[in-house]
Chains A and B, each alone.
Chain A
Amino acid sequence: MHGKALPYLLLMPATLFLCIFFLYPFALVAFEAVTRDGAFTLDNFRTMAGSWKFPVTIRNTLLLAAIVVPIQLTMALLMASVVSRLETGRSAALYIFAIPLGISDLAAGLIWLAIFDQSGFLNTLLSSLGVVDRPVMFLGYQSKLTIFIAVALAEIWRATAIMMVILVAGMGLIPKEYYEAAEVFGASPWQRFVRVTLPLLRPSLQTAIILRVILAFEVFAVVAALGGTNLPVLMGETYNWQFTLQDRNVAAASALLILAISIGFTLFFLRVLRVPKEAWI
């Protein structure tokens, strides 16, 4: 009796936590999104989609995710390969790579603001090198591209390490025998990476990509710090609807949209990178 109940008892705290802090608020938000003054309506979604900023926010958010995530994936794979291969100093390298993980996203945004600002490090450097005679405005409303690049850089700097950590763990799970066999058959390092590492890394890749894509749709503080309202993104608009425009219902609708996009992409990656049961060790 005791033995049978134990797993459920152990699951209880986490389940309760999820119900109270995730499912219940989610139900509230979902309810807010489809009602107004107590009556069922889809007006909130219409209002959200009818706003002149809406297409811009969708475009910016998708574009940011589409550019940032592949770069991060490549970098994380590279960093993880290097770290896995290190004989000595492996932990030191891991720690150093993981430093940005310890910094909040707003702080990360502010750090990059200090670099790109008109009186920031980059301008100081450029003018002391004599490249420019007056400070360049990198983050002005006219230079949307520079703002975009700055945000992408800050995001890459901040969040690549989380993917790397997952991939390092995944690489550690791949048995050495596969590599030895590949070497016996004369596979080059690149071939070993493509034929052995990548396929066997699929579960970790799946986790890493899903996590990063979801976070990419929730990008907020970095954009707020670097772009203000010059680069509107979905999450920023949600905040705007809630706090500036004081419209909880539309904010809830907007939050649900982000959730829907996240779920959509999660399902997509689960499908594309699925691991057949028999294939796994």
Chain B
Amino acid sequence: MMKALKILAGAALALSVAAGGAQAQQVLFWSTQARPVEETQKMRDEVLKGFEGAVDYQVAEDGPWLTRLQAELQAGSGTIGLLGGLHGDFSTVGASLVDLSAVNVGGVKVNEAYKKLGLLGTGEQKYMPWMQATYLMAANKQALQYLPAGTDLNTITYDQLIEWSKNIAEKTGSPKFGFPAGPKGLKHRFFEGFLYPSYTGSMVTKFRSAQAETAWNKFKELWQYTNPNSTNYAFMQEPLLSGEVWVAFDHVARLADAFNKKPDEFVAFPAPAGPAGRGFMPVVAGVAIPKTSPDPEKAKALVAYMLKPETQIATLKATNFFPVVDVKLPDDMPASVKAFGPAIATMTGAPDALPALLPMGLGDLGGKFNQVYTDSFERIVLGGEDVHGVLEQQAAALKAIIDQAKAPCWAPDKPSSGACPVE
């Protein structure tokens, strides 16, 4: 009996040592990005395979991602080697990230503005920019015949979009504008980075202004011609491909499949403009090393590897996120990249362009911040509540969140000395 126990214990010990040994060789890359299973697999097979020393690329939703990271930080030891996430993901845990300014990226020129964002307002390089994206509009070419007279897709306005959607709905008999309003859809980003800036020139300060009321009323108008199934949509590429939707707004990574599967059927174009300008939201993803990383040196080597031009191109092919370093794109890029490149350039370079950054400095209140916009949408547009009353209530919630986070204003709001005011 004793002997059997001893053998068993020995075997268990040997197994745990072997497993521990295998783990030590791999860098665990814990990421909120490239989450769709095909993208995750491409990251493993095509992007990370070239790195010397194995990488275990694992993805998680934002909540579980942060929960595990915080648990490891709290425990003071961890298995996560490298973090991948959006700017907002890192702002929560900035104090627990390793300074990356000493990482040697060779001769690669990294986008300076994004690098500055990676400082998270400190003197240390908290994260390195990794890839970038934005949101765009996409349309089925069948929809173009219903464009209101005199509309140029490259300079489209919200009023023209509403009229266009109305035309399509009336001529085809069913509403065909599509909006990612499902539980996993990025609707809050549309309100924060597109609708609000376009009408108010602000994301936070003018939350309950008269202009904001106009914006919501305009959106309600558009909603009449929006496919009611929109409250189930997470990614717009599927309804675009199935023909359920002809015109849609979404993140480029969530539109790409439609363009790659049927390159001749779709056009990509800039987000519409409102009275205050053409609001749009650039998205920056970065990589960072938590202080509990088991092998920071190896993780730093992986950071440098992620910024190599060839890795950046492979990442673009895998995820439809664009490079953040100076790189010449080869000709064999997917159809989505070819379609999005010019549309992004037109949008960001437009004379009325009004870039709105992702919410900043909110820490772990980011989810609650987004919820203010989502709640406003659910109450005003889906629930049909009074716009003014809802905005008053939601503004109070927004103010409480901003005050609690003591977050100063970020673009497009004017810089503030203390917490960003909600007028």
A57 at the interface (CB under 8 A from B): no
Q: Which of the segments A38-46, A181-189, A222-230, A273-281 contacts the partner chain?
A: A222-230
How far is A228 from B187 in the complex, measured between Cα atoms in Å? Answer: 14
A91 at the interface (CB under 8 A from B): no
How far is A229 from B67 in the complex, measured between Cα atoms in Å? Answer: 23
How far is A118 from B63 in the complex, measured between Cα atoms in Å? Answer: 30
Q: B368 near A247 (CB under 8 angstroms)? A: yes
Q: Which residue of chain A is the closest to B371 with respect to CB atoms?
A: A245
Min CB–CB distance B154 → chain A (angstroms): 33
Min CB–CB distance B286 → chain A (angstroms): 19
Q: B64 near A243 (CB under 8 angstroms)? A: yes
- Summed over the interface, the residue pairs from A and B with CB atoms below 8 Å come to a total of 51
Q: A228 near B231 (CB under 8 angstroms)? A: yes
Q: B231 near A140 (CB under 8 angstroms)? A: yes
Q: Which of the segments B24-32, B79-87, B258-266, B375-383 contacts the partner chain?
A: B375-383
- The 8 Å CB contact of B231, one of A52, A141, A242, A243, is A141
How far is A243 from B183 in the complex, measured between Cα atoms in Å? Answer: 13
Q: B63 near A246 (CB under 8 angstroms)? A: yes
Is chain A's interface secondary structure helix, strand, loop, or mixed overall? Answer: loop
Residues A245 and B183 in contact in the complex (CB < 8 Å), given A137-B228, A140-B229, A229-B378 = no
Task: Give the residues in chain B near A128, CB-CB below 8 Å.
Answer: none
Task: Give the residues in chain A near B111, CB-CB below 8 Å.
Answer: none
How far is A230 from B63 in the complex, measured between Cα atoms in Å? Answer: 21
How far is A118 from B230 in the complex, measured between Cα atoms in Å? Answer: 12
How far is A119 from B371 in the complex, measured between Cα atoms in Å? Answer: 30
The interface on chain A, measured as residues whose beta carbon lies within 8 A of the other chain's beta carbons, has a size of 20
Min CB–CB distance B395 → chain A (angstroms): 14
A244 at the interface (CB under 8 A from B): yes
Q: B231 near A244 (CB under 8 angstroms)? A: no
A88 at the interface (CB under 8 A from B): no
Q: B229 near A229 (CB under 8 angstroms)? A: no
Interface residues of A in 214-253 (CB under 8 A from B): 224, 228-230, 242-247
Task: Give the residues in chain A near B163, CB-CB below 8 Å.
Answer: none
Residues A229 and B183 in contact in the complex (CB < 8 Å), given A118-B229, A137-B228, A246-B366 = yes
Task: Give the residues in chain B near A53, CB-CB below 8 Å.
Answer: 375
Task: Give the residues in chain A near B122, CB-CB below 8 Å.
Answer: none
- The 8 Å CB contact of B63, one of A141, A142, A229, A242, is A242
A59 at the interface (CB under 8 A from B): no
Residues A246 and B365 in contact in the complex (CB < 8 Å), given A118-B229, A119-B242, A229-B183 = yes
A134 at the interface (CB under 8 A from B): yes
How far is A228 from B371 in the complex, measured between Cα atoms in Å? Answer: 15
Chain B 235-272 near chain A by CB (<8 Å), digits 1 or 0: 00000001010000000000000000000000000000
B53 at the interface (CB under 8 A from A): no
Q: B379 near A137 (CB under 8 angstroms)? A: no
B61 at the interface (CB under 8 A from A): yes
Task: Give the residues in chain B near A228, CB-CB below 8 Å.
Answer: 182-183, 231-232
Task: Give the residues in chain A near B370, CB-CB below 8 Å.
Answer: 244
Q: Which residue of chain A is the closest to B363 with respect to CB atoms?
A: A246
Chain B 36-66 near chain A by CB (<8 Å), digits 1 or 0: 0000000000000000000000000111101
Min CB–CB distance A173 → chain B (angstroms): 41
Query: Could you write out 25 A-B pairs with CB less than 8 Å apart?
Result: A52-B379, A52-B393, A53-B375, A134-B174, A137-B228, A139-B232, A140-B228, A141-B231, A142-B228, A228-B182, A229-B183, A229-B231, A242-B63, A243-B64, A243-B67, A244-B367, A244-B370, A244-B371, A245-B367, A245-B371, A246-B63, A246-B364, A246-B365, A246-B366, A246-B367
Given contacts A224-B183, A246-B63, 10 further A-B contacts (CB under 8 A): A141-B228, A142-B228, A229-B231, A230-B231, A244-B370, A245-B368, A245-B371, A246-B364, A246-B366, A246-B367
- Closest CB pairs A-B (n = 10): A243-B63, A141-B231, A140-B228, A228-B183, A246-B364, A245-B367, A246-B367, A244-B367, A229-B183, A245-B368
